[in-house]
Amino acid sequence: MSKPRTALVTGAGRGIGRVVAQRLSSAGYRVVLTARSRDQLEATASECPEQTLVVPADLTADGAVDGLFAEAESGFGPVDVLVLNAGAGSSAPLPRVTDTDWQQQLDLNLTAPFRCLRRAVPTMRQRSWGRVVAVASVASKRGEPYIAAYTAAKHGLLGLVRSAAAELAGTGVTVNAVCPGYVDTPMTEASVANIAARTGTDAAEARELLERKQPIGRLIAPEEVADAIMLCVNSSGITGQGINVDGGAIQS
């Protein structure tokens, strides 16, 4: 029997990352789970049918990405599938975005994925097979008010995906992005709370505002994002794409 392939999922403690980890495990992958919270990672691991490896890490810290991959390779071997899901948003009017705010958004949403991709590619190329899927955002493709730093980082992430896909075409390694709209996750709940606090509306009204941003009139389910991610994992013919999962908000 051939050795099971290894998948690494960042931001695997909750939301989209948890669902993707479950899907990959159910498909027979051994999954390395990373996020900042060990408790959340352990909860994800308990829902995965195949063997998992829990590696808590802050991927923005110096040396964290190299340490993560060293543990993954020591425990399971080279990473075959890399799902770059960890990320966070912040909102503020442009004049109030501090240098620290700006750098935090770039560090988490762009630099950490770049470091993971850089670390994963050599062994994928050597083995002539690999799948990289970054969870970007519709903010990778359009600008919206009050999220300048997040939008800039996500535009950069999509650019990284496209460049890497072009460089790796023909090697057996594919690189794609999935670009969700507002997803029913704890990150969106934080956005709801922020909107409610800023505008004086209640949480239900703030949530409805985000639901209306999708033409289908509701938030996207994490499982729907996972569907697109697994499509990229399972297909060798899809690469260099930014696949929208946004209820029709951006047509491409």
Domain ranges of the chain: 6-181+221-245, 183-219
Tokens of 124: 């994928």
Whole-angstrom Cα distance, residue 158 to residue 164? 10
3-state helix/strand/coil string of 147-164? CHHHHHHHHHHHHHHHHH
- The model's pLDDT over 62-105, given as tens digits with 9 standing for 90+, comes to 999 999 999 999 999 999 999 999 999 888 999 999 999 999 99
User: Catalytic site residues?
Assistant: 150
Whole-angstrom Cα distance, residue 171 to residue 149? 34
pTM score, whole prediction: 0.93
Beta-sheet strand order (sheet of 173-180): 52-54, 30-34, 6-10, 81-84, 130-135, 173-180, 242-245
- The model's pLDDT over 127-156, given as tens digits with 9 standing for 90+, comes to 999 999 999 999 999 998 999 999 999 999
DSSP H or E run through 125: helix 112-127
- Per-residue confidence at 1, pLDDT binned at 50, 70, 90? very low
CATH architecture of the domain 6-181+221-245 equals: 3-Layer(aba) Sandwich (3.40)
